[in-house]
Amino acid sequence: MLLRAFRHSTPLSGDPELTALACQLVAGNDRLRPEEQVEIYREQFFLRHLSCLEEDFPALQAVLGRNAFDATGSAYLAAYPPSSFTLRDLGEHLPQYLETAPLPEGFPCRAFLVDLARLEWALVDAFDAPDLPPLSLASLQNVPPDALDAAVVTLDPSLTLLALRYPVHEIHEAASEGQPFLIPPPRACWLGVHRRIDLALDWNELPALAFRTLDLLRQGLPLAKALNQVASTLASQDELDLLTNCIGTWFIDWVQRGWIRGIALPP
């Protein structure tokens, strides 16, 4: 029952019901009334959780500024109270929350904030995603060419594909490290965010056609079906030629980056 009080975003003194609950469940002492004792834990609960959000979203904190970030974080925690046993999951819904939350005063670029939060959450996800053994180029070369079209690939569990409206990755490092930065103008871009084989976190900007192909492979489509589906949406022969000419290079690149971790061949 006290958990509701700990998750309260404002002091208990403003809530008679929670104050009465504290008096029922907490004894108090000669220095602090029951609601004052509970208030200490409530404050620490929010301070700790805001600190965790700042650790996971350092660039977002830098862009908003501490006061606006703390206000946004407090409102987020009230809208999405922690429900996991681990603080690792605390910011999972922050990008979703920013889609409709009131914007900090003087900051009109909602899409920029959402994209930046999506990038930072993808980095959190990549950090402790499950691991799979890498696929070697030798293994790929052993796949018969006529079987590859029907193969279903397994992608690296740490890989997140992001279609962005702003190139937020261009300012992420500077903002995270407290260096000067300028919010870039909008530009559609496509990222693969992942944990490298050497365990460092990284991202790579992708051509739109490569992104769309990877996204379909992630959904479990065999390679040929994924390529045919992408090809069916193309508006020009030049785009079709680009897809045809580049898919081999892209595929090898994805294997070398560790993005493709397995190939299941048809029986």
Express each pLDDT in 225-266 by its tens digit. Answer: 999 999 999 989 999 999 999 998 999 999 999 999 999 887
Question: What's this model's pTM, rounded to 2 decimal places?
Answer: 0.83
Same domain, 104 and 123: no
Q: Which of 108, 132, 162 is the last residue of a domain?
A: 108
- What is the band of 4 on the pLDDT scale with cuts at 50, 70, 90? low
First-to-last CA distance in the chain? 57
Range of the domain at 58: 1-108
| Average pLDDT for 92-112 | 91
Same domain, 214 and 103: no
Same domain, 121 and 179: yes
Same domain, 34 and 60: yes
Same domain, 133 and 252: yes
User: Which among 267, 259, 258 has a CA at the least distance from the CA of 218?
Assistant: 259
Whole-number pLDDT of residue 8: 52
Burial bucket for residue 1 (CB in 10 Å: 0-12, 13-18, 19+): exposed
Same domain, 168 and 151: yes
Same domain, 86 and 188: no
Same domain, 95 and 199: no
Same domain, 95 and 130: no
Q: For the chain, what is the domain count?
A: 2
Q: Which of 73, 108, 143 is the last residue of a domain?
A: 108
Q: Which of 55, 78, 108 is the last residue of a domain?
A: 108
Query: pLDDT tens across 143-168, in order?
Result: 777 777 888 999 999 999 999 999 99
Same domain, 189 and 259: yes
Same domain, 12 and 90: yes
Same domain, 128 and 150: yes
Query: pLDDT tens across 175-202, in order?
Result: 999 999 999 999 999 999 999 988 999 9
